[in-house]
Chain A
Amino acid sequence: MLQRFLGELRHDPERADCVVGWRTEPACVGAFADFPDWVHPALREVLRRRGIERLYSHQAQASQAVAEGHHVVVATPTASGKSLCYNLPVLSSIMSAASSARPTALYLFPTKALSQDQVSEVNELVQALPEGAEFSVGAATYDGDTPGDVRRVLRDRGDIIVTNPHMLHVAILPNHVRWGTFFRRLRYVVIDELHIYRGVFGSSVANVIRRLKRVARHYGRSLQFIASSATIRDPKAHFRRLIEETPVCVQESGAPRAERHHVVYNPPIVNAALGVRARALDEARDLARALLRAGVATILFGRSRTAVEVLTKYLKDAAREEGIPESAVVGYRGGYLPLLRREIEHGLRAGKIRMVAATNALELGVDIGSLDAVVMVGYPGSVASYHQQSGRAGRRSGQSASILVASSLPLDQYVAQDPAIIWEGGGEQGVLNPDNLVIATNHLKCAAFELPFAPGETLGEFPSTPDVLSALAGPGGVLLERQGRFHWMDETYPAEALSLDAVEMDNFLVVEEKSGKSLGHVDRVSAMTTIHPQAIYQHQGTQFQINRLDWEGRRAYAEKVLVDYYTEAETGTEVRVLSEDETTPTEAVHCGRGDVHITEIATFWKRIRFYTNENLETGPIDLPPEEMDTTAAWFVIQDSLAAKAGLALGSRAGAVAGLATLLKGVAPLFLRIGGRDLRALGMASHPHWKKPVIMLYDGVPGGVGLAEQVYAGREALLLAASRALEGCACLYGCPSCIGLGGERGPGSKAAARILLEECLNAVRPAQEVSS
């Protein structure tokens, strides 16, 4: 079935131009190895009874390295049996130890659902062991839902504690005194889904691990870290940054694998002059429909919740026309209530659901059974995410395919021009920065709360530790210095106020007004664009209109409607400059960075008709603005350059906003942090300088130092933007470079080219001088 579909795709003359990349990973039979000698015989027997007579080569290699005392990272494809790589040595060493010297293990999973999966997996193994006290191993989850009396038992008697980084950060480390029994025996720390630990979250967790190592040292322990990751470019380097130890890396999978096809599909150009391509969503819908007809179990990944809901509706329509039950097609995204999600996961495993449209909520290792094909609507933003999503197909056997439908965003077009980037590991550089001053300082406070800093001690490898300690011990500060030691001297509990991912926890509940039924959650930042009054809230392909939004009460009241449109909201942003920290002035352009205050407001909504994408109607949105202080980097265009580029002409002024979009678009190729964290703004005249300005600012309140990185790496960024602009075939600007010529103005692309060139000239000598 899949084969026929792929054959058609390969030979369809209409689509020949669209298939811009095709790579086939051949099937392989797998490599096996015997159980190592140290595996406890009882455990070996249990595995044998489950049909595991021998190990895959990578399982043997990884668990042997663990047994030899190395830090280990296992980065093999999805469903290659990675959890055995750590469960085998951990369980064996607990079972083989004398009861007084039993080691303990800490398992870190990014979500509660994954923790629960893991605990059941370990406990199934443990319960199958023969009766006998010396074998009994206790594994349990420790999270926000664990009752108080159970917590006490776990602290004193748990062998394997399965938790998440947040609990470690806010509950376990600050209270390590109560966990003394556990810490005195702690030996293994298992970190699953390593690739998740990137960006702000990864940088924070790296600091939590610095704190964990410090506390373990207090109890006389040095820890052994074991990580597993499905897809990551340089797992060894990444893990090294996270744990600040050098690991052994196991990447060669011994698991048998079926044939897999990777296709990159660039939608056709529908307007050559404007460089407009067909919408990725529409192209993906057509591909999915063909897959549905061919009976191929498929998962579609959309980039936004709206995209997923629109797709779900389209596919349900398609199923009806094809005579397939509508219930075989579902949507799956964050914000669905847990019960519905569990039902969907079950339906997928049972094979009742044949097609699912999902956000990256399904990207993580929730076990959903086997699917044959993956369609990605737009490049998921990073090489790691790409592999994670494509790994959702072909988990067991048979042929599988993953099809990336490029959108018109600059990053997608960059990938479509050169698909080898995703296959040959040309992706992002180091994706976490534990030394980010803001993040590390906040964790330094938590660390000082946990244990005083001894003279000369640093927080892991954080180089500014002494300076920050001194700063914090200044007049009225939170630390006290005595004989070179730094003690926490404050009434607060620093971990409490510190979030690991800096994501607002403040959610809105969407309620069906008539029945009072809860439909789902929306986070506060998305509220003003998705659940404003008059908005169409889409849920499982059904449209609800928001009638009333109770901003204070954090509730939106919805009513089911039958309409042929959905809504999108436009936003407006104001930037006030608070300080200019650094400036590199040249005649043409002043580059700089500093602190800014951002005010973002939703201005109006648009009704967009399904299928035709017509804009039917618009109306105002009247909601409170979102405000934050953050950091920014900017390029202030001086008068001479503005004149040279002809920005005074109305038809060319759009170049400024266009360039901002382009710079933001290519930034994820270089930056250590995911693209959504960075925002861009181009203004023909900013009130602070009264000149045109291109600004990139940090999307996290308070900033996490992204602007500094943009400022420092401005040459590479401008160079990539320049490549993208030159490589784009459009004449007057298109969504793949500076935005539609029609919106930006016909002369904008030419003006943008001049601006970029001059900016590059301005940046280069400055950096030569400084180096």
Chain B
Amino acid sequence: MKSLSILERLQRHGVGLRRIEADRASSGAAESIRPPCEVNGFAGSTSERRPSALTPIPPSSEELGAISIVETVHPIGSCHGDWPIGPLDSRAAAAVSWAAREPRSAEVIPGDRLYIDTETTGLHAGAGSLVFLLGVGRYEARGFVVRQYFLRDPTAEEQYWRRVHQDISGARVLVSFHGKSFDRPRLRDRCLFHRQDPLFEDWPHVDLYHASRRLWKDSLPDVRLQTLERHQLGFVRSCDLPGSECPQAYFQWLRGEGDRTPEILLHNRLDILSLAALECKVSAVFEAALGGDVAWRAAFLAWEAGATEVAIPMIGNLRQSPIPAPAGLIPKLASSLARRQQNQLAIAVLEHEYAARRETPTLWKWARLLEQSGEWERVFALTQTHSLAATPPWPARWLRLRGRATRRLARPQVRV
């Protein structure tokens, strides 16, 4: 009688023994589609011209054991796509804090900022999902330094996190893309797993995903990092391993089934460079020189953040330009302006909005604001020259408003 091994019995029962491969025939086929990449020797030397060069994982050293640290230096002013990277000045940091709605992030010096991105073995939370690569970018005297902590051996994870804890001391602000919902909880879980203090806990956190979404959600098909790179930074990844393939590439490397770690490192490093460049781009949007409907969003964010001295001139410029604001923004902005005693500016933006979209609620809001400001003559003129939609309740409202204005104007003026 044939007896079956555990392996055979499991296979017969259809118990999944193997990893589910990403939806492609084989990694080899996918690689051959990509253009060949130039492989750089060791990091740092020529990164000015080729920030995207491939660096291999250095061999393990006695000091680091199961961790590899790959360091690349990117000079200040080197371009990532069309955008030079460089530390933010206080004005730019403030602008980024408005977009990120993280006021505490405006008050720090540039070297305090850490740009992080992680590669994990799975997208879901849970104890079995590892962070195997943490990339940390930081401005130093020699340039923008990206340090990548690579976990060579999952059994050495505890030591890995201790090392990361040591290295990041002194910094205070976190910059990430999707870090609020992804990277930081994942890092927190890993540290707690090894009974270490969570990394970056309570740090001001600039999540550029949220900042970008607030600025560009109308003008881009989606707000993924690669879309932003293409449209906002003019950067197109030519030989990049997609993030979704990184876990499989890591598993293969661990088992000695192939080495795509240089590509994983490159992918992670590009993400971090994009963070630095994207942050510069976000801050630039708040410069008055930049037009487009994104300027409306920027002005609104600055106003909401209480940066009156920046917001008011921006709004003032915008209302004189022909550029329409993104749909739905003006009513919110106008209400907010009126709440904070900026009635004239509110009236102006509503007028601008009505000219662009000719929507009844905007006209009504405009007229009501005039009424509340006591501008009876303008109310009266408005009710004569414009009309609301013909469906109830608008005609009755309009008539009543006109009635109130007529009555007011008929009253004798009170002499002072």
Query: Is there an interface contact between A491 and B155, defined as CB atoms closer than 8 Å?
Result: no
In angstroms, how far is the closest chain B Cβ from the Cβ of A217?
14
Query: Is there an interface contact between A174 and B128, defined as CB atoms closer than 8 Å?
Result: yes
Question: Given A483-B155, A581-B2, A595-B12, is A174 in contact with B17 using a C-beta cutoff of 8 Å?
Answer: no
Contact string against B for A residues 169-213, beta-carbon threshold 8 Å, 1 for contact and 0 otherwise: 000001111101000000000000000000000000000000000
Chain A residues 435-481 with CB under 8 Å of chain B are: 437-438, 441-442, 448-452, 464, 467-468, 471-472, 474-478, 480
Query: Is there an interface contact between A437 and B122, defined as CB atoms closer than 8 Å?
Result: no
Contact string against A for B residues 118-131, beta-carbon threshold 8 Å, 1 for contact and 0 otherwise: 00011111111110
Query: Is there an interface contact between B4 and A472, defined as CB atoms closer than 8 Å?
Result: no
Question: Given A437-B9, A464-B6, A581-B2, is A478 in contact with B17 using a C-beta cutoff of 8 Å?
Answer: yes
A366 at the interface (CB under 8 A from B): no
In angstroms, how far is the closest chain B Cβ from the Cβ of A468?
6
Among A452, A491, A494, A703, contact of B121 (Cβ-Cβ < 8 Å)? A491
Query: Is there an interface contact between B13 and A477, defined as CB atoms closer than 8 Å?
Result: no
Closest to B12 in A: A595
In angstroms, how far is the closest chain A Cβ from the Cβ of B332?
26
Among B12, B15, B128, B254, contact of A581 (Cβ-Cβ < 8 Å)? B12
Query: Is there an interface contact between A449 and B128, defined as CB atoms closer than 8 Å?
Result: yes
Question: Given A441-B15, A631-B13, A702-B13, is A489 in contact with B154 using a C-beta cutoff of 8 Å?
Answer: yes
A767 at the interface (CB under 8 A from B): no
Q: In the assembled complex, which residues on chain B have CB atoms less than 8 Å from the CB atom of A476? A: 18-19
Question: Given A475-B255, A477-B19, A489-B251, is A448 in contact with B128 using a C-beta cutoff of 8 Å?
Answer: yes
Q: In the assembled complex, which residues on chain B have CB atoms less than 8 Å from the CB atom of A176? A: 127
Query: Is there an interface contact between B127 and A177, defined as CB atoms closer than 8 Å?
Result: yes
Q: How far is the CA of A476 from the CA of B254 in the complex (A)?
A: 11
Query: Is there an interface contact between B12 and A579, defined as CB atoms closer than 8 Å?
Result: yes
Q: In the assembled complex, which residues on chain A have CB atoms less than 8 Å from the CB atom of B7? A: 467, 471, 474
Query: Is there an interface contact between B251 and A480, defined as CB atoms closer than 8 Å?
Result: yes
In angstroms, how far is the closest chain A Cβ from the Cβ of B283?
33
B410 at the interface (CB under 8 A from A): no
Closest to B126 in A: A174
Query: Number of contact residues on A: which range applies?
Result: 35 or more
Q: How far is the CA of A491 from the CA of B248 in the complex (A)?
A: 8
A583 at the interface (CB under 8 A from B): yes
Question: Given A177-B193, A471-B7, A581-B12, is A482 in contact with B153 using a C-beta cutoff of 8 Å?
Answer: yes
A689 at the interface (CB under 8 A from B): no
A333 at the interface (CB under 8 A from B): no
A627 at the interface (CB under 8 A from B): no
Contact string against B for A residues 674-705, beta-carbon threshold 8 Å, 1 for contact and 0 otherwise: 00000000000000000000000000001100
Q: In the assembled complex, which residues on chain A have CB atoms less than 8 Å from the CB atom of B381? A: none
Query: Is there an interface contact between A175 and B153, defined as CB atoms closer than 8 Å?
Result: no
Q: How far is the CA of A491 from the CA of B155 in the complex (A)?
A: 18
Chain A residues 576-594 with CB under 8 Å of chain B are: 579, 581-584
Contact string against A for B residues 128-154, beta-carbon threshold 8 Å, 1 for contact and 0 otherwise: 111000000000000000000000011
Question: Given A476-B18, A702-B13, is A468 in contact with B6 using a C-beta cutoff of 8 Å?
Answer: yes
B28 at the interface (CB under 8 A from A): no
B29 at the interface (CB under 8 A from A): no
Question: Given A482-B155, A492-B122, A582-B2, is A703 in contact with B19 using a C-beta cutoff of 8 Å?
Answer: no
Contact string against B for A residues 618-634, beta-carbon threshold 8 Å, 1 for contact and 0 otherwise: 00000000000101000
Q: In the assembled complex, which residues on chain B have CB atoms less than 8 Å from the CB atom of A584? A: 1
Q: How far is the CA of A472 from the CA of B254 in the complex (A)?
A: 15
Q: In the assembled complex, which residues on chain B have CB atoms less than 8 Å from the CB atom of A614? A: none
In angstroms, how far is the closest chain B Cβ from the Cβ of A268?
47
Q: How far is the CA of A319 from the CA of B155 in the complex (A)?
A: 71
Closest to A484 in B: B155
> What DSSP secondary structure best describes chain A's contact surface?
mixed
Among B20, B130, B155, B257, contact of A485 (Cβ-Cβ < 8 Å)? B155
Q: How far is the CA of A369 from the CA of B189 in the complex (A)?
A: 47
B16 at the interface (CB under 8 A from A): yes
Contact string against A for B residues 1-43, beta-carbon threshold 8 Å, 1 for contact and 0 otherwise: 1101111011011111111100000000000000000000000
Contact string against A for B residues 319-361, beta-carbon threshold 8 Å, 1 for contact and 0 otherwise: 0000000000000000000000000000000000000000000
Q: Which of A452, A488, A595, A631 has the most CB of B within 10 A?
A: A488
A487 at the interface (CB under 8 A from B): yes
Among A174, A449, A477, A483, contact of B18 (Cβ-Cβ < 8 Å)? A477
Q: In the assembled complex, which residues on chain A have CB atoms less than 8 Å from the CB atom of B153? A: 482
Among B13, B128, B155, B247, contact of A703 (Cβ-Cβ < 8 Å)? B13
Query: Is there an interface contact between B254 and A480, defined as CB atoms closer than 8 Å?
Result: yes
Closest to A181 in B: B192
Query: Is there an interface contact between B1 and A583, defined as CB atoms closer than 8 Å?
Result: yes
Q: In the assembled complex, which residues on chain A have CB atoms less than 8 Å from the CB atom of B4? A: 581
Q: How far is the CA of A680 from the CA of B9 in the complex (A)?
A: 23
A490 at the interface (CB under 8 A from B): yes
In angstroms, how far is the closest chain A Cβ from the Cβ of B19?
5
Query: Is there an interface contact between A493 and B2, defined as CB atoms closer than 8 Å?
Result: no
Q: In the assembled complex, which residues on chain A have CB atoms less than 8 Å from the CB atom of B192? A: 177-178, 180
Number of A-B contacts (CB under 8 A): 117
Q: How far is the CA of A743 from the CA of B257 in the complex (A)?
A: 62
Query: Is there an interface contact between A492 and B17, defined as CB atoms closer than 8 Å?
Result: no
Query: Is there an interface contact between A467 and B6, defined as CB atoms closer than 8 Å?
Result: yes
Q: In the assembled complex, which residues on chain A have CB atoms less than 8 Å from the CB atom of B123? A: 491
In angstroms, how far is the closest chain A Cβ from the Cβ of B149?
18
Among A175, A478, A579, A702, contact of B127 (Cβ-Cβ < 8 Å)? A175
Query: Is there an interface contact between B127 and A437, defined as CB atoms closer than 8 Å?
Result: no
Query: Is there an interface contact between A174 and B10, defined as CB atoms closer than 8 Å?
Result: no
Among B13, B124, B248, contact of A438 (Cβ-Cβ < 8 Å)? B13
Q: How far is the CA of A452 from the CA of B122 in the complex (A)?
A: 16
Query: Is there an interface contact between A629 and B14, defined as CB atoms closer than 8 Å?
Result: yes
Among A175, A487, A493, A703, contact of B122 (Cβ-Cβ < 8 Å)? A493
Contact string against A for B residues 241-270, beta-carbon threshold 8 Å, 1 for contact and 0 otherwise: 000000110010011010000000000000
Query: Is there an interface contact between B127 and A174, defined as CB atoms closer than 8 Å?
Result: yes
In angstroms, how far is the closest chain A Cβ from the Cβ of B130?
8
Query: Is there an interface contact between B154 and A487, defined as CB atoms closer than 8 Å?
Result: yes
Query: Is there an interface contact between B126 and A480, defined as CB atoms closer than 8 Å?
Result: no
Chain A residues 412-426 with CB under 8 Å of chain B are: none
Query: Is there an interface contact between B254 and A175, defined as CB atoms closer than 8 Å?
Result: no
Query: Is there an interface contact between B17 and A488, defined as CB atoms closer than 8 Å?
Result: no
Q: In the assembled complex, which residues on chain A have CB atoms less than 8 Å from the CB atom of B251? A: 480, 489-490
In angstroms, how far is the closest chain A Cβ from the Cβ of B195?
9
Q: In the assembled complex, which residues on chain B have CB atoms less than 8 Å from the CB atom of A488? A: 121, 128
Question: Given A437-B13, A491-B247, is A452 in contact with B154 using a C-beta cutoff of 8 Å?
Answer: yes
Among B5, B9, B121, B126, contact of A489 (Cβ-Cβ < 8 Å)? B121
Q: In the assembled complex, which residues on chain B have CB atoms less than 8 Å from the CB atom of A487? A: 130, 154-155
Chain B residues 180-204 with CB under 8 Å of chain A are: 189, 192-193
Closest to A580 in B: B2
Q: In the assembled complex, which residues on chain B have CB atoms less than 8 Å from the CB atom of A472? A: 17
Q: In the assembled complex, which residues on chain A have CB atoms less than 8 Å from the CB atom of B189? A: 177-178
Closest to B66 in A: A482
Q: How far is the CA of A438 from the CA of B123 in the complex (A)?
A: 26
Question: Given A471-B17, A480-B255, A581-B4, is A493 in contact with B10 using a C-beta cutoff of 8 Å?
Answer: no
Q: Which of B9, B192, B247 has the most CB of A within 10 A?
A: B9
In angstroms, how far is the closest chain B Cβ from the Cβ of A627?
13
Closest to B250 in A: A489
Q: In the assembled complex, which residues on chain A have CB atoms less than 8 Å from the CB atom of B14? A: 629, 702
Q: How far is the CA of A450 from the CA of B125 in the complex (A)?
A: 11
Closest to B21 in A: A476
Query: Nearest 10 A-B pairs (CB), nearest first?
Result: A449-B128, A488-B128, A467-B6, A174-B126, A471-B7, A491-B122, A493-B124, A487-B154, A476-B18, A177-B189
User: Please, could you name 14 A-B residue pairs with CB atoms under 8 Å apart, sorted by A?
Assistant: A177-B189, A449-B128, A471-B6, A471-B7, A471-B10, A480-B254, A480-B255, A482-B155, A487-B154, A488-B121, A488-B128, A489-B121, A489-B154, A489-B251
Given contacts A174-B127, A477-B17, A493-B124, 16 further A-B contacts (CB under 8 A): A437-B6, A441-B15, A449-B128, A452-B154, A464-B6, A471-B6, A471-B7, A477-B19, A478-B18, A490-B128, A491-B19, A491-B122, A494-B128, A581-B12, A595-B12, A703-B13
